[in-house]
């Protein structure tokens, strides 16, 4: 039997309600603007996430590039070595994703700073971060329906997109650049 709440409109209403709750929580939380200071002072920004979180961060990488920042996606063949003065921007709901934690350790060892988006501030990722955004959402393994009714970390990944866009927008507003100033950096080999 199909639930009466199984339509797209009902799902959009439920999902947007969860996102509104996350946005309200982040808007009143502490420390999120630290991300702006860390990224704003970066020589280069390296972006790393796994799975859908990684895809969400790639969107942020593109926007930061539009601002004129030197941005590299970790794992791409053209990504150079990270070094002191650089920033590693990461996202992991659990904060324990092995490849991300290892990259954070490497970044820290060479003197780079770390920006993290996670649900778990006491995780290895959260503890290592120089700037931290804590998203009140379920991780992909939480199927309780308590923190989110969405499947496998969907709310966290959506929040990563929103946080990334908010970071870009705040840095853009601070830059004084116009949309016309940014446009020449937009991809033209599409």
Residues with catalytic function: 157
Convert 52-119 into a string of H (helix), E (strand) and C (coil).
HHHHHHHHHHHHHHHCCCCEEECCCCCCCCCCCCCEEEEECCCCCCHHHHHHHHHHHHCCCEEEEEEC
Q: Are 104 and 126 in contact (CB under 8 A)?
A: no
């Amino acid at each position: 039997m199909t639930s009466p709440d199984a339509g797209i409109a009902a799902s959009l209403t439920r999902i947007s309600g969860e996102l509104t709750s996350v946005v309200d929580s982040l808007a009143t939380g502490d420390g999120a603007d630290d991300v702006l200071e860390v990224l704003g002072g970066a020589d280069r920004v390296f972006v790393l996430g796994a799975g859908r979180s990684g895809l969400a961060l790639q969107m942020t990488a593109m926007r930061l590039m539009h601002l004129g920042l030197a941005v590299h996606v970790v794992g791409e063949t053209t990504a150079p070595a990270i070094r002191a003065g650089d920033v590693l921007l990461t996202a992991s709901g659990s904060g324990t994703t092995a490849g991300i934690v290892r990259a954070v350790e490497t970044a820290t060892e060479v003197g780079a700073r770390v920006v993290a988006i996670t649900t778990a501030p006491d995780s290895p990722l959260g503890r290592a971060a120089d700037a931290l955004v804590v998203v009140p959402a379920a991780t992909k393994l939480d199927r309780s329906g308590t923190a989110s009714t969405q499947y496998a970390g969907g709310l966290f990944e959506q929040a990563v997109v929103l946080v990334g866009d908010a970071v870009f927008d705040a840095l853009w507003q601070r830059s004084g650049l116009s949309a016309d100033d940014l446009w020449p950096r937009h991809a033209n080999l599409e």
